Amino acid sequence: MTTLTLAVPDEMKKEMDSFPEMNWSEVARQAFLQKIEDMEFLRKFKEKSKITEADALRLGKEVSKEVTNKLKEQNKIKVYNTQELSKLSGHP
């Protein structure tokens, strides 16, 4: 097995140290494995897809807009305009 060293922020390391029972190497291995599987799926999907990058970006924006609207309707989020944000932050 190969050894891999990675950097984490100090605060994350402190939080990790608060769970000494965790095998963080195994957690990292599982996270890496999941990411590899996700990327392989996307690679295969991309190879078979006829959609263009422009179409994908357009569809992504449409989905984001629909999700935002649905969450606004359910009062789960509030979307502020620039003027409202200025008032909230105390800046004119």
Residue-wise pLDDT tens digits, 22-64: 999 999 999 999 999 999 998 998 888 888 889 989 999 999 9
Global confidence as pTM: 0.53
C-alpha 28/C-alpha 30 separation (Å) is: 5
C-alpha 55/C-alpha 41 separation (Å) is: 19
Residue whose entry in the numeric block shows the structure tokens 């029972």: 21
Q: What is the end-to-end Cα distance of the chain in Å, rounded?
A: 58
Return the pLDDT at 92.
66
- pLDDT tens profile 64-86: 999 998 998 898 888 888 888 88
Return the pLDDT at 28.
96
Number of domains in the chain: 2
Helix (H) or strand (E) holding 35: helix 24-48
The CB density around residue 9, as the number of other CB atoms within 10 Å, is 8
Domain-embedded: residue 35: yes
Residues 62 and 84 both lie in one domain: yes
Q: Indicate the Cα dihedral angle 6, 9, 13, 16, nearest 10°.
A: -90
Residue 56's domain comprises 52-92
